[in-house]
Structure 1
Amino acid sequence: MSFTSPSGESAPTESDVIVVGAGPGGSTTAAYLAQHGLNVTLLEKSEFPREKVCGDGLTPRATRALTRLGVDTSQENGWLHNKGLRVYGGRTEPFEMDWPDLTDFPPYGLVRPRADFDDMLAKHAVAAGATLLQNTNVDGAILDDRTGRITGVTTKDGRRYHAPLVVAADGNSSRLAVSMGLNKREDRPMGVAVRTYYTSPRTNDDYLESWLELWDGERGKSNLMPGYGWVFGMGDGTCNVGLGVLNTSKGFGKTDYRELLKRWTDGTPEEWGFREQNQIGKVQGAALPMAFNRQPAYGRGLVLVGDAGGMVNPFNGEGISYAMESAEMAADAIVEARSRGFNTSSAERAMRAYPERLKAELGGYFRLGTVFVKLIGDPRIMKLCTTYGLPRPRLMRFVHKLLANLTDAHDGDAADRIINALCKAAPSA
């Protein structure tokens, strides 16, 4: 294993690729590259295990990404499996929908705390041959004065690392991308999510739970609040409970999200345990950058993966699966570029295939998502959807597939064919 001490002592200063950020996108990129024999330095500003704000629930799309990476997702390996989604909205009783039975995706999702999940992925990258440096806070790019191309990075404590290609996997704020003039696009949706944990008898739930209506009391007799909520049983005596608000909502940026979470959970049944006296840890929040809100995904030697490139699904706020998928696509391009000789014109053509592939595979779907979030930002439309759309099981199964982006590319059913056609017809985000 190429693991170094948290201080980064004896670390290489020259690599084939530098990856900044050891979250799901960064560690997955590093693992794939190391598996192909590249010399990879993975720089992480914190020290593992460390906490990240997340729902901790994964759909079958993320399960597939983990399986492709070679991660054992069995229950014996510490994963909690779930078999579908329970949706509250439009009526008192929820809808329960199993994950679709597909060729392209497994029939189960997963739950695992992010502190453990990210630690596991980083160790997986190290086991593949990557060098992990913790407590290494990157604060800027080293640029070639002639070309403006990135040739390495500097850290807050004065260290310098060099490589022909640098991957920015440093999250929503992506200080590295910003230092190269890549700022967020304002025409893309953005969300804010907050979550905390409660001890709860609902901890052993084999469905992920989504709330499309947030009432601060009894349904229909209290205030309908902006956003959507979730409850994910962790299997350890606790539940991860949180909510998200989109910037298409009138309440975005003007809401005390922690107070909003309290008002909603105070309206849930007492026996669930979602009360202040059962809360574990603080309420914490994070931004959800959606639909490629930072572009281009490759340029001047810098590769964006995951949240750094705004690769969160606008339909459901899911980010981990897309971080891992973009990481695999980026690694494919980098491996091809290395085979052609870094810094050659042929290698540059190989690298340009990465953003083109992203847009071909996800661009149309993300564009549909941007339309969706604009529509549901209007409470009148949301009320129509929950009142007239949700009570129809066949429509709900279609929406379930659409929101989770779970369809078969070939030989799928009618819903799959409709969703795939819509994604192909939509212009790329």
Structure 2
Amino acid sequence: MSISRRKAGEDAEVIVVGAGPAGSTAATYLARAGLDVLLLEKSTFPREKVCGDGLTPRGVKQLIDLGIDTREQAGWLHNRGLRVVGGGVTLELDWPDLASFPPYGVVRPRQDFDEMLARTAQRAGARLLENTTVNSAITDATGRVIGVNAKAGPDKVPVTYKAPLILACDGVSARLALSVGLEKIDKRPMGVAVRRYYESPRSKDDYLESHLELWDRSDPDNPVLLPGYGWIFGMGDGTINAGLGILSTSKAFGTTDYRKLMRSWLDGTPEEWGLREHNAKGKIGGAALPMGFNRTPHYTPGLLLVGDAGGMVNPFNGEGIGYAMESARIAAEIVVQAMARAEGPARERALEGYPVAMREALGSYYRLGNIFSKLIGNPTVMRTATKYGLPRKTLMKLVLKLLAGLYDQRDGDAFDRVITAATRMAPSV
């Protein structure tokens, strides 16, 4: 039985703000390590989230590490790879066979997925308070974060919660970070994604499907190439998740009607796919994707930025869930070590290791991704890469490994060694 380290006036040893994948993962690891964890969530479960609902093997590894049963019998729809469509070519690429990651991806609706992770945190011992909206940090005279201001319940009653450490897992809004002056870095990429569910006969698919060219074929005699890339992910329940993303490095970013763009693209897909208005389930939802460590430092005294709050989305492919969970695991490991030390300089040295650990894990890879996002933001570069790259399956296998972060850093194949060498040569973000 662990003895609480809470002091008088403190509500927990660690407060985690946001019960998305980052927050619930961090809370689970922290609670399992014996820490007294308070997990604050602004909405109530189950809740919707705008997302593609698909995880690559890198994300699946994080689920397995957390102890989640990812078998199909447990309700997960497995996929064996990525189908890439563009330049008149359709290419099916299986996920690579690696020591570091499982050979399958999964699909599961975020409405179900997020609640499952939150309940996992509760079972580990974290105290979850739903309908609690955190709007700012509380700091002491030195500027150290020592708690949060929030509004609780349906009546939005003002409350405060205090703890020696706060994990900001509050997503793209990053209210906690903004409240202490941590602005996003505009030179680093952002993405915008929109998605909608449709009833479709393509609901069960062995591959996640990515469309590198989006065409508005409303006028068959004058098709128009649209900015961005699209996805079609079968959900296995009679529906598909269709969506598209556009990068801030594109000239069309911020001036495009993304919902109209998506409808134009889907209206040009084959009728038998069912991606038409009368088959739609719900509205088109949109969300911003903070990429490439676009908010730093990831640690300021008393406050760690985790997941989307710290810009952890992969700039190569827009995947956020797996990287949110990865950063949460790293943050939790650091916090557990820090809380085992006496309050003061020794604890701070441990906490200052968090941004260092994140740079070591993803910094150089994300630097390459930020460069990549600038290149493909140019439509000429994107068209040329699609035209000449897609027909070359061997090259595309390398590209898949790079874009999805699926490579073995030790004892890998020739492609793995190329990617590992490139990340080592790239300066960290």
Aligning the two structures, in what range does the TM-score lie when normalised by the shorter sequence? over 0.9
* Residues 36 and 89 of structure 1: CA distance in aligned 2, closer, same or farther (over 3 Å): same
CA deviation map 1:74-103 (0-9, x unaligned): 111111111100000122x41001100000
Q: Offset of 1:221 from its aligned partner?
A: 5.7
Q: Offset of 1:384 from its aligned partner?
A: 1.0
Determine whether 1:415 maps to 2:410: no
Q: Offset of 1:302 from its aligned partner?
A: 0.3
Q: Distance in 1 between matches of 2:186 and 2:427?
A: 18
Determine whether 1:30 maps to 2:31: no
Other structure's SS at 1:152 match: strand
Determine whether 1:18 maps to 2:15: yes
Q: Distance in 1 between matches of 2:289 and 2:38?
A: 27
Letter matched to residue 149 of structure 2:
T
Q: 1:120: which partner in 2? A: 116
Residue correspondence of structure 1 range 125-136 to structure 2 within 5 A: 125-136=121-132
User: Which is worse superposed, 410-419 or 214-223?
Assistant: 214-223
Asked if structure 2 preserves the Cα contact closer than 8 Å seen for 1:13 and 1:160, the reply is no
Any unmatched runs of 5+ in structure 2? 1-8, 152-156
Q: Offset of 1:138 from its aligned partner?
A: 0.8
CA deviation map 1:151-175 (0-9, x unaligned): 1111122211110000000001111
Q: Distance in 1 between matches of 2:233 and 2:302?
A: 39
Letter matched to residue 58 of structure 2:
R
Q: Distance in 2 between matches of 1:300 and 1:344?
A: 11
Other structure's SS at 2:187 match: coil
Letter matched to residue 372 of structure 1:
F
- Out of 53, 58, 71, which is 1:56 matched to? 53
Letter matched to residue 235 of structure 1:
G
- Out of 91, 94, 104, which is 1:95 matched to? 91
Q: 1:383: which partner in 2? A: 383
Q: Distance in 1 between matches of 2:419 and 2:29?
A: 30
Q: 2:71: which partner in 1? A: 74
Q: Distance in 2 between matches of 1:40 and 1:308?
A: 19
Asked if structure 2 preserves the Cα contact closer than 8 Å seen for 1:196 and 1:281, the reply is yes
Q: 1:46: which partner in 2? A: 43
Q: 2:139: which partner in 1? A: 143
Q: 2:269: which partner in 1? A: 268
Asked if structure 2 preserves the Cα contact closer than 8 Å seen for 1:152 and 1:161, the reply is yes
Q: Distance in 2 between matches of 1:153 and 1:303?
A: 13
Any unmatched runs of 5+ in structure 1? 1-11
Residue correspondence of structure 1 range 259-298 to structure 2 within 5 A: 259-298=260-299
Q: Distance in 2 between matches of 1:87 and 1:390?
A: 8
User: Which is worse superposed, 56-65 or 217-226?
Assistant: 217-226
Letter matched to residue 422 of structure 2:
L
Q: Distance in 2 between matches of 1:314 and 1:290?
A: 5
Q: Distance in 2 between matches of 1:98 and 1:58?
A: 14
Other structure's SS at 1:340 match: coil
Q: Offset of 1:25 from its aligned partner?
A: 0.2
Q: Offset of 1:379 from its aligned partner?
A: 1.1
Q: Distance in 2 between matches of 1:221 and 1:210?
A: 23
Other structure's SS at 2:359 match: helix
Other structure's SS at 1:185 match: coil
CA deviation map 1:268-299 (0-9, x unaligned): 00000000000000001000000000001111
Q: 1:330: which partner in 2? A: 331
Other structure's SS at 1:224 match: strand
Other structure's SS at 2:148 match: strand
Q: Distance in 2 between matches of 1:383 and 1:326?
A: 34
Letter matched to residue 337 of structure 1:
A
- Out of 148, 155, 158, which is 2:150 matched to? 155
CA deviation map 1:363-421 (0-9, x unaligned): 01100011111111111111110111111011000001000000011110010000011
Other structure's SS at 2:166 match: strand
Letter matched to residue 423 of structure 2:
C
CA deviation map 1:221-247 (0-9, x unaligned): 611100000000000000000000001
Letter matched to residue 153 of structure 1:
V
List structure 1 segments (4+ residues) > 6 angstroms apart after TM superposition.
none
Other structure's SS at 1:318 match: coil
Q: Offset of 1:428 from its aligned partner?
A: 1.0
Name the TM-score, length of structure 1 as normaliser.
0.95
Q: 2:6: which partner in 1? A: none
CA deviation map 1:194-228 (0-9, x unaligned): 00000000001111000111011299961110000
User: Which is worse superposed, 13-22 or 117-126?
Assistant: 13-22
Q: 1:4: which partner in 2? A: none
- Aligned residues: CA RMSD: 1.2
Q: Offset of 1:13 from its aligned partner?
A: 5.7
Other structure's SS at 1:388 match: helix
User: Which is worse superposed, 128-137 or 152-161?
Assistant: 152-161
Q: Percent identity?
A: 62
Q: Distance in 1 between matches of 2:397 and 2:138?
A: 50
Q: Distance in 2 between matches of 1:73 and 1:221?
A: 45
Q: 1:166: which partner in 2? A: 166
Q: 1:7: which partner in 2? A: none
Q: Distance in 2 between matches of 1:90 and 1:365?
A: 27
Q: Distance in 2 between matches of 1:415 and 1:90?
A: 24
Letter matched to residue 258 of structure 1:
R
Q: Distance in 2 between matches of 1:155 and 1:365?
A: 36
Q: 1:195: which partner in 2? A: 195
Letter matched to residue 152 of structure 1:
G
Q: Distance in 1 between matches of 2:183 and 2:73?
A: 43
